[in-house]
Amino acid sequence: MRKSSFNGESSFQYKRGELFCEDTSISQIADEIGTPLYLYSNRALIDNYERLKGAFKRVSPLICYSLKANDNLTLCRILAHLGAGADIVSGGELYKALLAGFSPKRIVFAGVGKTRKEMELALREDIFMFNIESRGELELLENLSSELHRKTRVSLRINPDIDPDTHPYVRTGLKQNKFGLQMEKAEELYLKLRDSKNISPKGIHFHLGSQITRIDPYLKCVDKMAEFISHLRKEGVDLEYMDMGGGFGIGYRGKESPLDIEELASRIAPLIREHELKLIMEPGRYLTGNAGIMVTQILYRKRGKERQFLIVDAGMNDLIRPALYGAYHEIKKLRQPSKTSPMEVIDLVGPVCESTDFFAKDRNLPRSAQGEYLALMDTGAYGFSMASSYNARPLPPEVLVKGEKWTLIRRREVYRDLVRTEAISLEEKNVIPSYTIPFVKLQGTGNDFIVVDNRANLIKDPGALAKKVCSRKEDVGADGLLLLEESQKAYFKMRIFNPDGSEAEMCGNGARCIAQFAYLKDIAGRRCTIETLGGTIRCQIQGKKVKIGMEKPRDLRLNLRLSLKGEIYEGHYLNTGVPHFILFASRVEEVALEELAPLIRRHPKFRPQGTNVDFVQVTKGNTLKVRTYERGVEDETLACGTGAVASALVGSLTCGVSSPVRVRMKGGDLFIYFERGKDNNFSQVFLEGEARVAFEGKISEEAENV
């Protein structure tokens, strides 16, 4: 495998027959969250930045990362923390740059079509520099600066008319290109700016193009700009900065050499120092290109009359570079082929209805089977940032790998995202046919729930609907109605409504069921987060088993004494997302639950919200038998996830049970995992049990309008 990172070793290597990113198996990630997906190496990103910084250390450049290459907030934040600035070309990129943590004092604003609104926003943020492309743009900026009483720093972008020997579509420094100013016009503007009250000419800017792998074009341009700067200084325009743009090429093909950044630095640094200039550069691809890959899965093999096709689940909407530029990306199997693996010549194509929807043509690759994963290498730049939802295809997720850990840094879009900003015109609303609402009934260790995807806000009165559909004698019947809704904090939000119409803060078994629902409906992957009224929880799915990470328990009160009908009952109170009062008994089957639990549930000590009530028996080993009376249901339930957790944690404090605890309930077994610290504190609390589909159906129009 070719070497491409700063430490001489690629972050993507085969280990034990599988392709790894750093120390993480890429196949395991694909199995959990599905494909297509983008995946990035934290180490490669940092190494690339440190290499560039080290090469030019003699001139201490301002390295402004070009957000157009990849504007993921997490990747941008990593670079901002390393000390990078930002190169932006729009108001949206300015917004994201500030959100990611780039200092305004390290932001340069380029682009040929800056709008008045974008300029005003950048002026109010007091960014470091504007790179000006035309006389009209400069005049508008000067007027705005006057209105806002600002002294604005600018560089003029020069079109040097130098061929960088790269793809025609990414050349930007030739006279026929739309970018920059001819030197004669630039000189006129520089001389005019000598007396400006609101514009301060600070530098000169050029950008030759993208994916440049030879140093000669840069050397020619730096020489040309240095000579021009010397001329301007004689005319009284004393420039401080030379912004050489970016475009530093990487090696996309196995034997293709990237730009020799050390050689470039050794040749340019003396010129910068000789002319007493400060250097700015705007790399994008060089920092993120080889730090990322796109993973896709083979859907079908198809033999045409003259060609063999592998059809994958990624399309040109996910990665447009091959269709747009004829760009080359190496293709690797996630399962390492042997030296004797048979080879075949294939076209790798996607599902989009365009003939240009391909990633490779006539490519000689080890034979691959339907269902296998493939990696398209070096897609960290101009991959996701150029993706679209063409053919109504939701955008893929993005993952960051750091050693043995990985994090989802952008969730996969779902169908609802495709229409998030759309609205139906008033003229059309009355002619839309009525529809029913689909639901799935799931069962989690004895608790059953009706689950509805409510991201379109179709449910008008969820409390009233819960009262109707949860009735076991009159309707579907369930322990609760679960609504899956949009969230700004997590993959989605769970709202739970009890059969009496009240809304609960949290339900452990309900959370496991809605996580299974989200996975089965392709709303989330095997790992996800859920926002609840009781806090945000983490979920992991393995077949029918669902494991959720609970919020940190709170409000612990041990040995709490209650007076009930003249008798004293001692128990323990703990909130595990919802409140629970736990009483231990020698035989829970003999407890008068129907008599005692309602009195405890509404006891004055638990007003105003009341409490759930759990009767707990310690049996052999780390096993508990639990019966739970649940508020809202107002009856004993077959199982209660938060009750099982509360019982296990209190059992650890009072009876010495240790993790994992098996909790036996009428509906089945649940397993509780936790770490117990000092001062009765718990962390890493998990609830695990089965969650499976009982049946699917549709809620009638009559029920919808409740």
- Please give the single-letter amino acid code of residue 196: S
In contact, 286 and 247? CB cutoff 8 Å: no
Per-position DSSP letters for 350-400, written without gaps between them: -SSSSTT-EEEEEEEEE---TT-EEEE-S-SSSSGGG---GGG-PPPPEEE
d(CA 187, CA 173): 18
- Tally Cβ neighbours within 10 Å of residue 394: 15
295 strand-pairing partners:
37, 375
Instruction: List Cβ neighbours of 89 (8 Å cut-off, separation of 6 or more).
Output: 67, 68, 109, 110, 111
- Please give the single-letter amino acid code of residue 303: R
Residue of 384, 244, 368 whose CA lies nearest to 309:
368
d(CA 296, CA 3): 23
Three-state DSSP class for residue 532: strand
DSSP H or E run through 597:
helix 593-601
Residue of 56, 51, 48 whose CA lies nearest to 222:
56
Instruction: List Cβ neighbours of 647 (8 Å cut-off, separation of 6 or more).
Output: 580, 582, 614, 616, 624, 626, 663
In contact, 614 and 583? CB cutoff 8 Å: yes
Helices 42-55, 261-274: axis angle to 10 degrees equals: 40
Tokens matching residue 586: 């020698």
Tokens matching residue 6: 């700063």
Residue keyed to tokens 């046919």: 433
Tokens matching residue 510: 């309900």
Beta strand 447-453 with 107-109 is unpaired
- Please give the single-letter amino acid code of residue 98: L
Three-state DSSP class for residue 66: strand
Residue of 35, 51, 1 whose CA lies nearest to 21:
1
- Active-site annotation holder among 21, 76, 353, 513: 353
Residue of 238, 240, 247, 244 whose CA lies nearest to 219:
244
Active site residue 221: no
d(CA 382, CA 396): 14
Residue of 57, 58, 105 whose CA lies nearest to 80:
105
Residue of 660, 632, 626, 627 whose CA lies nearest to 506:
632
Q: Which residues are catalytic?
A: 353
